[in-house]
Amino acid sequence: MVNHEGLVFMSKSGLLLIVFLSAACGRRDQAGDTAADSATTRAALSQVELKLPPGFTATVFADSLGGARHLVAAPNGTIYVNTWHSPYDSTRKTPPGGYVVALRDTNQDGRADVIQRFGSTNESGSKGGTGIALGGNKLYVEADSEIVAYTLPANGLVPTAEPLSIVAGITTEGGHPMHPIAVDNRNLYVNMGSNTNACQIKDRAPGSTGQRPCQELKHRAGIWRFQLSNGQRFSPANRFATGIRNADGLAIHPGDGTLYVTQHGRDQLAENWPKLYSWKQGANLPAEELLRVEQGGDYGWPYCYYDPDLKSLVQAPEYGGNGKKIGECASKRGPVAAFPAHWAPLALAFYEGSMFPGSYRGGAFIAFHGSWNRAPEPQEGYNVGFQPLSGGKPTGELQVFADGFAGARKEPGLAAHRPAGVAVGPDGALYISDDQGGRVWRGTYK
């Protein structure tokens, strides 16, 4: 197939390759990506090859959407995407018409031919965010400092009424300002990421010890639970679980209704504690985590991190750890599964469709946004992984399902595309969003 997006073909190895030229829009996620790097990336043409297992195909479903973060698939096949104007990149603006994007393929050719936007934006175009979830005929969306709910029309594409404010007063200041969400039949779950790396007295400073107790835990670094009714305000009393540094992927397990999340591990072990950790250890510690979140659970941050080699939570150096000491971490809750360090798991979706082979059913697809802090080791991630699960427990190691999004450079400001969201459509197709180039792919199997 040939179109203005590029070429789609099978490689000799059986891997699907999608080759196209696109203007790569960069986003400065972290300090260290220079403005010159980002400008060069935007101006350059990047050749990108998506690699998938034999039998799978991924095609471009929609493009140029802005900072496409999380997405959901409605029962009628409509895809809704929350977009974000990154505060790290003043040159990229949210396209006009609203921060929520509705996508529908009406002629069944695998590409959205109807694209409509809704949701107001402020003067800077920054309203929007990451979180988006479906519950009945309601679409729940993160909009800056609140979670709102739109009532979806029975046969239409976009809501006609103004949204209701479900939860207001959510902080957007400091580190980890985004609020991924999940809903079940009764509850809205919201991630409140930490403001700091490890709750040090001086954030990210070499040798700075940690605050004890960590005051952030009252308001952040955990999961908050609210009702699905309007008019609520953020309160520490709604904290559901604590000790979770930043849960960017939230999903309700389809079997038992339990909340699962992906956690971003802390940074800068080697930079801040060079006498305890080599640079190689700093690049490969700690693990990213898949957590089964239960009410009242304490998952360890900032006092602990997960070491995949020791297969245990260990004491953080800010709190007297030496890289091996377990100490108080023996009483904290560990992960269901662990992933390579600094891959940044940004979204989570359980697969219950019938399109893919049976080995995928019950497992989890995870969008890995990609690392910025593995230097001097190569940056990694920038892919979509699959974690085999049965009954919510791992039955094998993480598999890289789709790769090649970044193109030639796996760097935050230089990557052509960065996976940000995953969702399973009613027909079993897998949708993947990208907040660097504003693209949505549709993955199918036959």
pLDDT at residue 34 in the model: 43
44: helix, strand or coil: coil
pLDDT at residue 26 in the model: 29
User: Largest Cα–Cα distance of the chain, in whole Å?
Assistant: 62
pLDDT at residue 97 in the model: 84
Residue of 252 and 127 predicted with greater confidence: 252
Mean pLDDT score, 196-220: 98
pLDDT at residue 29 in the model: 36
Residue 415 pLDDT more than 70?
A: yes
Its domain, for residue 260, covers: 64-445
Looking at the structure of the chain, the number of domains it has is 1
Residue 11 pLDDT more than 60?
A: no
The bridge status of strand 146-151 relative to strand 247-252 is unpaired
Residue 195 sits in a domain of what CATH number?
2.120.10.30
Residue 41 pLDDT more than 80?
A: no
Residue 340 lies in a domain: yes
Residue 42 lies in a domain: no
Residue 210 pLDDT more than 80?
A: yes
Residue 231 lies in a domain: yes
Per the rule left: phi > 0, alpha: psi between -120 and 50, beta: everything else, 207 is left
Model confidence at 173, in pLDDT bands (50, 70, 90)? confident
Residue 100 lies in a domain: yes
Residues making up the chain, counted from first to last: 446
Residue 159 lies in a domain: yes
Cα separation values, 78 from 51, 114, 368, 422, 426, Å: 26, 10, 24, 14, 9
Assigned token pair, 313: 């939570």
Model confidence at 273, in pLDDT bands (50, 70, 90)? very high
CB 133 within 8 A of CB 183: yes
Residue 8 pLDDT more than 60?
A: no
Residue 387 pLDDT more than 70?
A: yes
Q: Single out the residue of 411, 419, 443 nearest to residue 28, CA to CA.
A: 411
Residue 231 pLDDT more than 80?
A: yes
Model confidence at 397, in pLDDT bands (50, 70, 90)? very high
Residue 32 pLDDT more than 50?
A: no
CB 415 within 8 A of CB 409: yes
Residue 45 lies in a domain: no
Q: Single out the residue of 169, 318, 152, 140 nearest to residue 229, CA to CA.
A: 140
Residue 389 lies in a domain: yes
Q: pLDDT per residue over 129-158, tens digit each?
A: 999 999 999 999 999 999 999 999 987 899
Paired strand residues for 262: 249, 290
pLDDT at residue 35 in the model: 41
Model confidence at 5, in pLDDT bands (50, 70, 90)? very low
143: helix, strand or coil: strand
Radius of gyration of the chain (CA): 21
- Calculate the CA dihedral of residues 353, 354, 356, 360 and round it to 10 degrees: 60
What proportion of the chain, given as a percentage, has pLDDT over 70? 86
pLDDT at residue 47 in the model: 62
In the block, tokens 């059986």 appear at: 14
Residue 436 lies in a domain: yes
Lowest-pLDDT choice from 39-53, 237-251, 312-326, 417-431: 39-53
Residue 36 pLDDT more than 90?
A: no
pLDDT at residue 319 in the model: 98
C-alpha span between 251 and 436 (Å, rounded) = 23
pLDDT at residue 15 in the model: 40
- Average pLDDT over the chain reads 88
Residue 91 pLDDT more than 80?
A: no
Q: Single out the residue of 210, 211, 241, 238 nearest to residue 225, CA to CA.
A: 238
pLDDT at residue 139 in the model: 98
Nearest-5° angle of CA 79, CA 427, CA 105?
45
pLDDT at residue 128 in the model: 86
In the block, tokens 């059913």 appear at: 361
